[in-house]
Amino acid sequence: MSNEIKSKRRDFLFTATYTIGAVGVGAAIWPLVDQMNPDSSVKALSTTEVDVSSVEPGKTITVLWRGKPIFIRRRTKSEIDEAAAVNLKDLKDPEKDSDRAKNPEWLVMVGVCTHLGCVPLGDRGDYKAWFCPCHGSHYDTSGRIRKGPAPTNLEIPKYEFVDNKTIKIG
Amino acid sequence: MSEDKYVPESKLAQWFDSRLPLLTLSHHLRGYPTPKNLNYWWTFGGILTFFLIVQIVTGIILAMHYVAHVDLAFNSIEHIMRNVNYGWLIRYVHANGSSMFFLAVYIHIFRGLYYGSHKPPREMIWITGLIIYLLMMATAFMGYTLPWGQMSFWAATVVSNLFGAIPLIGENITAWLWGGYSLDNPTLNRFYSLHYLFPFLIFALVILHIWALHVPGNNNPIGIDVKKNSKETMSFHPYMVMKDLLAMLVFILIFFGFVFYAPNFLGHPDNYIPANPLVTPEHIVPEWYLLPFYAILRAIPSKLGGVIFMFASIFILILLPWLDSSKVRSAAFRPLYKKFYWVLVAMVILLGYLGAKPPEGIYVILARIATTYYFIHFLIILPVLGRYEKTDPLPTSIFDPVLDEPNIVDKFKKTAGEYEGEKVDTFK
Ligand code: HEM
Ligand code: FES
C-alpha cells in the first residue's frame, strides 16, 4: 500500500472518530441543559377557574395563573366604545378590539407588560387604562400598546366562560 | 517574569521546590519589578483582590444560614439579621462589600482608560479584566435576587425578560432561565447555585489577569515602557505592598463607614417587603452600579434595540485596544484625548443619574444624548484622535524632564533622588 492511500484512510478514521465523539458529547450535554426547562410539575398547573359574579362594571380583579397575574376587567360602555373606535392604522400592533374581547364587556389579559415583564397599573396613563411604571408603556382600554417601549399588546390567555359567572383560564 | 534561576537555601526547600515550584512563584511575586512612578490609582487591583476575598468569606458564612426557597428565603434573611450571632454584621458587610467592589472596579477601569493600560502589549490584561467585570455583574445580579424582596423579584424579572427580546427563541430562553413561566422557586434555586459558583470563576480569572499582567509588567502614569530591573523599577515587596496596604486601609475605612453608619444607604427600602408577583413597585431601579446600562436600555424606544445597545455598550470595550489607535498610552501626553476622557466620565455619571429617574420628558432626551455620545466616543472620536491628534513629546525615561509639565518634573526628580544611590531591592 502506498503512503498516500494510508494517510487517506487515516484521515477518514479521524474524521469519523471526531464526528461520533461530537455526537456523544452532545448527547451527554443535552440532559444537563434541558433540566433547566420548566419541569412536569410546573407544566401541570395549567388551569384556574375564577368566579367573576361580584365584579362591578369599571372594576378589575387580578388572579394568579402560572405564576403570572391575569387582569379580568368588566369594562364600561364608554371604554368599549373607545376601544372599538380606534383606527387600526394608529396601532403599533394592530388588533381589533372584537378579536381581543369575545364578550366586549369582559377583557381578560395577562397582566404582564410585554416590554420587560412588570405589572402595569390600572386606570393610569395617557389612555386612562393601563400604564407600566417601569419604562413608561401606555396601553389603551383594550390593552393594546399605544406609547412606550413595549412591542406588542398585552397577551390574551386561553380562556372560556364556563357559565355566566365563571371564567376558566388555561 | 524573572529571568534568573531561583534556588532556595535549605535542602528541604530545594527538594520541595524542584517538585512543586511554589517557592519560585512566591519569589517571583515578591521580586516582581514595578515602575517607581506608580500612583495611588494603581492600588485598586489590590483593593479588588481584597474585596473578592471578603465576598467569598462572608458569602460562605451567609450560606450556612440562608434558605433558598420562595416561602423561606425572606424570613431566613430576617433570621440572619435578628438571631444569628453577628449575622447583621456579616450580611451588611456582604451587601455593602459588593458596592465597594464595584466602586473599586470602576475606578480601576477608568484608571486604565486614562493611562492607556488597554493598549499593546496589555490587551489580554484588559480582556480578562472585562470578563471578570461581566461575571461580577452576573454574580451581583443573582445575589440581589436571593433575599426575595420586592426589588429582588422585580429587578430579576426585568433583567431576565431582556432575553425575551431575542427574535424567535426569546420566549424559550426566558422559560429555560426561569424553569417556568415566570420567576419562581426553580429560578431562585438555580440563581443561588450559580451565585455560589461564579466568585470562584472570578478567582480563577483573576489569576489569569495577574499572570497576563506579569508578562509585560505594569503600565505607569507616563505610559512609556520602563526597563525592568533597572533604577526605574523597584520590587513589589515591600514597596508596592506597603503602598497598597495604606490605600486599602483608607478604602476599608470608607467601607466600614457605610457598614456601621449607613448600611442601607445604597440599598432600596422596598427590598424589605417580601416579593409579590402581583404588584410591581411604583419605581423600580437596579443597584446603583448597573444604572448607566439601565439608562441606555430605556433611552432606545424599541425593546430589541434597547437590549442590543445595552449589551453593545459593554462589548464595545473589548474592541477598545483596536479602536483607540493612538500609539501614545498616557493621557498626560494627549491634550485632546484628556478632554474627551473627562467628557466621557461626565456622560457615564449622567447616565447613572438618569437611570435612577423616571423614564419621561427631559430625562429620556438627556439619556439619548448621553447614549449617543458614549458610542461616538468609542467608535468615532478615538479612532480619529489616534490619527490626527498632535501628542506632546514623550520622555525617554520616567525620570526625564517633561517639557510642559513642570510639576511632574519636580515630582519625579524628587522620587528619583530618594532612591538614587540606594541599592534597589530587586533580585540579583
Ligand atoms: C475582580 C476584579 C479584578 C481584580 C481582583 C483585579 C486585579 C488586578 C490587579 C491586582 C492588578 C495589578 C495592580 C494594578 O494595576 O492595579 C490589575 C491590573 C489591571 N487590571 Fe484588573 N482586576 C480586576 C478587574 C479588572 C477589570 C474589570 C478590568 C478592565 C476592564 C481590569 C483591567 C486591568 C488592567 C488593564 C490592568 C493593568 C494595569 C496596569 O498595569 O496599568 N481589571 N488588576
Ligand atoms: S416593563 Fe413595562 S415598560 Fe418596561
> Can you give the pLDDT at residue B285?
87
> Can you give the pLDDT at residue B424?
44
Domain containing B138 — which CATH number? 1.20.810.10
A7-40 pLDDT, tens per residue? 888 999 999 999 999 999 999 999 999 999 999 8
CB B355 within 8 A of CB B285: yes
The answer to whether residue B419 scores a pLDDT higher than 90 is no
Q: Which of A42, A64, A133 sits opposite B280 (nearest CB)?
A: A133
- Buried-exposed string B173-209: b where 16+ CB fall within 10 A, e elsewhere: bbbbbbbbbbbbbbbbebbbeebbebbeebeebbebb
Partners of B149 in beta bridges = B274
How distant, in Å, are the alpha carbons of B58, B70, B194, B259, B265 from that of B64? 10, 17, 16, 21, 26
The answer to whether residue B403 scores a pLDDT higher than 50 is no
Neighbours of A168 (CB within 10 A): 14
> Can you give the pLDDT at residue B407?
62
Partners of residue A138 in chain B, C-beta under 8 Å = none
Split at pLDDT 50, 70, 90, the class of B402 is very low
**Residue B291 resides in a domain:** no
B320-334 pLDDT, tens per residue? 999 999 999 999 999
Q: What ligand has the least distance to the C-alpha of B158?
A: 2
> Can you give the pLDDT at residue B423?
44
How distant, in Å, are the alpha carbons of B38, B41, B125, B412, B420 from that of B221? 6, 9, 17, 11, 20
> Can you give the pLDDT at residue A135?
84
**Residue B11 resides in a domain:** yes
A80-113 pLDDT, tens per residue? 999 988 888 889 999 999 899 988 999 999 999 9
Residue A151 to residue A166: CA distance in whole angstroms: 31
Ligand 2: residue of A68, A92, A116 to mutate (most ligand atoms within 8 A of CB) is A116
Do residue B194 and residue B310 come from a single domain?
Answer: no
**Residue B6 resides in a domain:** yes
Q: Cβ separation of A64 and B278 shorter than 8 Å?
A: yes
Q: Cβ separation of B158 and A118 shorter than 8 Å?
A: yes
> Can you give the pLDDT at residue B418?
52
How distant, in Å, are the alpha carbons of A163, B45, B110, B132, B201 from that of B135? 53, 17, 18, 5, 8
**Residue B371 resides in a domain:** yes
What integer best gives the mean pLDDT of chain B?
91
> Can you give the pLDDT at residue B405?
57
Partners of A11 in beta bridges = none
Per the structure, the complete domain to which residue B324 belongs is given by 296-397
**Residue B289 resides in a domain:** no
The grid cell for B210 is 495577574
Split at pLDDT 50, 70, 90, the class of B243 is very high
Residue B315 to residue B379: CA distance in whole angstroms: 12
> Can you give the pLDDT at residue B415?
57
Q: Average pLDDT of B343-371? A: 93
Do residue B186 and residue B62 come from a single domain?
Answer: yes
Of A65, A63, A66, A64, the C-alpha closest to A38 is A66
Q: Which residue has the least CA distance to atom 42 on ligand 1?
A: B129
Do residue B254 and residue B350 come from a single domain?
Answer: no
Split at pLDDT 50, 70, 90, the class of B426 is very low
pTM attached to this predicted model? 0.86
- Percentage of chain B lying above the pLDDT 70 cut: 93
Task: Give which of B154, B168, B173, B181 to mutate to test A binding, by max A Cβ within 10 Å.
Answer: B181
- Percentage of chain A lying above the pLDDT 70 cut: 98
> Can you give the pLDDT at residue B406?
57
Partners of A62 in beta bridges = A71
Do residue B393 and residue B405 come from a single domain?
Answer: no
Q: Average pLDDT of B294-321? A: 92
B90-108 pLDDT, tens per residue? 999 999 999 999 999 999 9
Q: How many domains does chain B have?
A: 4
> Can you give the pLDDT at residue B136?
98
What DSSP state is assigned to residue B302?
S
Do residue B378 and residue B405 come from a single domain?
Answer: no
> Can you give the pLDDT at residue B125?
98
Q: Average pLDDT of B210-233? A: 93
**Residue B323 resides in a domain:** yes
Cell numbers 402595569 correspond to: A120
Of B2, B29, B5, the C-alpha closest to B244 is B29
- Active-site option among A8, A135, A158, A165: A135
Do residue B234 and residue B378 come from a single domain?
Answer: no
The grid cell for A106 is 369582559
Q: Which residue has the least CA distance to atom 1 on ligand 2?
A: A116
Cα B301–B302–B303 angle (5° rounding)?
130
CA torsion angle for B317, B321, B323, B328 (degrees, to 10)? 130
> Can you give the pLDDT at residue B1?
43
**Residue B290 resides in a domain:** no
- Which carries the bigger pLDDT value, residue B232 or residue B408? B232
A51-60 pLDDT, tens per residue? 988 899 999 9
> Can you give the pLDDT at residue A164?
83
The answer to whether residue A118 scores a pLDDT higher than 80 is yes
- Buried-exposed string A17-43: b where 16+ CB fall within 10 A, e elsewhere: eeeeeeeeeeeeeeeeeeeebbeeebe
Residue type, B91: R
Do residue B220 and residue B321 come from a single domain?
Answer: no
B28-82 pLDDT, tens per residue? 999 999 999 999 999 999 999 999 999 999 999 999 999 999 999 999 999 999 9
Annotation says A115 is catalytic: no
Do residue B274 and residue B319 come from a single domain?
Answer: no
Partners of A129 in beta bridges = A124
Do residue B6 and residue B76 come from a single domain?
Answer: no
**Residue B1 resides in a domain:** yes
> Can you give the pLDDT at residue B282?
82
The answer to whether residue B312 scores a pLDDT higher than 90 is yes
Domain end marker among B255, B284, B313: B284
Do residue B174 and residue B304 come from a single domain?
Answer: no
Split at pLDDT 50, 70, 90, the class of A67 is confident
Tally DSSP H helices, then E strands, for chain B: 17, 2
The answer to whether residue B401 scores a pLDDT higher than 70 is no
| B368 at A interface, C-beta within 8 A | no
A118 lines ligand 2 (CB under 6 A): yes
Split at pLDDT 50, 70, 90, the class of B410 is low
**DSSP assignment of B39-77:** -GGGGHHHHHHHHHHHHHHHHHHHHTT---STTTHHHHH
B163-204 pLDDT, tens per residue? 888 889 998 999 999 999 999 999 999 999 999 999 999 999
Do residue B200 and residue B262 come from a single domain?
Answer: yes
Helix, strand, or coil (residue A129): strand
Task: Give which of B183, B280, B357, B363 to mutate to test A binding, by max A Cβ within 10 Å.
Answer: B280
Residue B287 to residue B257: CA distance in whole angstroms: 19
Between the CA of A158 and the centroid of ligand 2 the distance, in Å, is 23
Do residue B332 and residue B387 come from a single domain?
Answer: yes
B111-129 pLDDT, tens per residue? 999 999 999 999 999 999 9
